[in-house]
Amino acid sequence: MTPTRARVAFPKDWTFDLAEDLIDGIRDEFDPDDAVGELAPRVAGKPVDEAEEAALQFFTDYGRRWMDRTLELGEKYTDRAYETLKKAAERTGELAFPFIPERFIEIAYLATQPIYSLPIAENTVNTFSYKMVFCDTITALREQCGDELADRLPCRAGCLTAAGRAFTSKGFDVVVSQDSRLSDGEFCQFTVRRKHA
C-alpha cells in the first residue's frame, strides 16, 4: 500500500525569478523617459494631428524593437519557471498559449515600467488580457510633449505592437485590442485574442 519513491532534491542554484541582467539590459535600452526624449524633438511645434501621426509611427517601431529585444534576451536568460512551462506545454500540447508569450510581455513591462508585477486580467484558453495602471511613458509624454498629445495616447501603438509581436513570434495568430485607455480612465487594458482558423 505504501509506494516507495526516491527522495527528491533539486539543484540548489535553480532560480525561479527573472535574471537581473535580463531586466537591466532591457531597461537600459528601452527606458520610457529616454524613448520619449527621442520622440519629443520630432513632434515639437507640430499640429497635434501631425504630431500624433509621427508619434504613432515612432511607438510602433519602439514596440517592435522593445519586444524583439525582450524575446531575444528572455530566451538567453531563462529561469526554472520558464523551463517548467516549456516542458508542461510540450507535454500537454496546450499551455503555450497564453503562458509563453505572457512571460515575455511580463518581462517587457517589469523591465521598463514602475511596477513589481503586471496585473493580469485574464489568461485563459483563448484570451490574454492585462492592465497598466502606472505608466511612465504617458507621464513622460505629458512632461516632454504636452497634455494635448499625451491625451491622444499615441504610446498605445507601442503596447499594441509589442503584445501582438510576443504572440505572433511564438506562432500564434491573434488580434490585439485596447479595451480601456489610461488617458480616459484609471488604466490601459490590452487584450490578445486567439484567431481561430
Partner 1 sequence: MYPIVAPIIKIDQARCTTPFACKLCLQACPTAVFGVFETKMIRLEETDKHEPGNYRLRVIYRDRCSACNRCVDVCPEHALTVEMPAGVRA
Partner 2 sequence: MCRMCDSLGGGDTWYLNPKNYSNRMYKLREPGKRPTEALGNSPNAGAAPQGQTRSGLPEAIEAKANGDLDTFNKIIGDMNQRALMRPGGQVVPLHEVMEVLDMGMPVAAMMCICRKNTRACEECSVSEYSCMGLGTGMFKWERWPERYKGGVEFLSTKQAKEWVEYWDKKGMMHMLMQEGGDFIGGLCNCDYPDCGPIRHRIDYGLYAQLVKSEYVCFVDWEKCNGCGDCLGRCHYNALKFEATMEKAHIDQFNCFGCGLCETACPRDAISYFDRKKIPGLANVW
Pick 43 or 111: Cβ nearer partner 2: 111
Residue whose cell numbers read 480612465: 185
Choose the one of partner 2, partner 1, none that binds residue 35, judging by a C-beta under 5 to 8 angstroms depending on kind.
none
Residues 6+ positions from 139 with CB-CB distance below 8 Å: 32
Residues 14-73 that bind partner 1 (CB under 8 A): 14
- The secondary structure element, H or E, covering residue 141 is helix 136-145
Choose the one of partner 2, partner 1, none that binds residue 95, judging by a C-beta under 5 to 8 angstroms depending on kind.
partner 2
Give the shortest CB-193-to-partner 2 separation in angstroms: 13
Give CA separation, 166 vs 11, 56, 193, in Å: 31, 19, 13
Pick 78 or 168: Cβ nearer partner 1: 78
Give CA separation, 20 vs 71, 96, 109, 111, 137, in Å: 15, 24, 14, 9, 22
Backbone φ and ψ of 167, nearest 5°: -80, -45
Give the shortest CB-7-to-partner 2 separation in angstroms: 9
Provide the binding-site residues for partner 2, judged by CB under 8 A: 2-3, 5, 8-10, 14, 16-18, 23, 80-82, 84-85, 87-88, 91-95, 99, 102-103, 106-107, 110, 115-127, 129
Pick 147 or 177: Cβ nearer partner 2: 177
Which of these, 161, 157, 155, 138, lies nearest to 68 by C-alpha position? Answer: 161
User: Which of 11, 45, 93, 185 touches partner 1 by CB under 8 A?
Assistant: 11
Q: How long a stretch of residues is the chain?
A: 197
Give CA separation, 67 vs 3, 32, 164, in Å: 47, 14, 9
Tell whether residue 185 is a contact of partner 1 (CB under 8 A).
Answer: no
Give the shortest CB-15-to-partner 1 separation in angstroms: 11
Choose the one of partner 2, partner 1, none that binds residue 197, judging by a C-beta under 5 to 8 angstroms depending on kind.
none
The contact set with partner 1 (CB under 8 A) reads: 2, 7-12, 14
